[in-house]
Amino acid sequence: MKGEIIFGVIAVLFVASFMYGLAANPDSEFGGADGQAGDAIAEINSDYVPWTEDSWINSIKFEPPGGETESLLFGLQAAFGALVIGYFFGYYKGKGQSN
């Protein structure tokens, strides 16, 4: 139980730090750090245009039409991963008990 308790305490501290972040940044939408980096690049070099803008590279990729589809794909990614982890932990546990 000790491990779970320590993890729980750290998780609560994480949520508390987020709450503090909410209070300290009342206007923030908590956008991605990568987006902020994009803004910083624009500040350093305002002429910079991603050189792949009109490249064929974009045609082999799927661009989610909006935030909803994007969150679906991220959700699927997490669900798939969690499924694999749960399946094999269960497999090992069951195998260990039957021996």
Partner 1 sequence: MHIFEGFLPSPWWQLWFVFSIPIIFFGMYRLNKLVSEKRELLPLLAVAGAFIFVLSSLKMPSVTGSSSHPTGTGMAAILFGPAVTAVLSTIVLLYQAIFIAHGGLTTLGANVASMGIIGPVFAYVIYKAGMKANINFYVVVFLATAFADWATYVVTATQLALAFPAEVGGVAASLKAFLLIFATTQVPLAIMEGALTALIFKYVIQVKSDALVELKVITESALNKIKGAGQ
Residues that bind partner 1 (CB under 8 A): 2-4, 6-7, 10-11, 14, 17-18, 20-21, 24-25, 28, 30-34, 36-38, 40-41, 43-45, 48, 50-53, 55, 57-58, 60-64, 70, 73-75, 77-78, 80-85, 88-89, 91-93, 96
CB of 29 to partner 1, least distance (A): 9
CB of 13 to partner 1, least distance (A): 8
Distance spanning both ends of the chain, measured CA to CA:
25
CB of 19 to partner 1, least distance (A): 9
Q: How far apart are CA 72 and CA 35, in angstroms?
A: 20
Q: How far apart are CA 74 and CA 64, in angstroms?
A: 11
CB of 42 to partner 1, least distance (A): 10
**Which residues have CB under 8 Å from 52's CB, separation 6+?**
58
Q: How far apart are CA 38 and CA 48, in angstroms?
A: 10
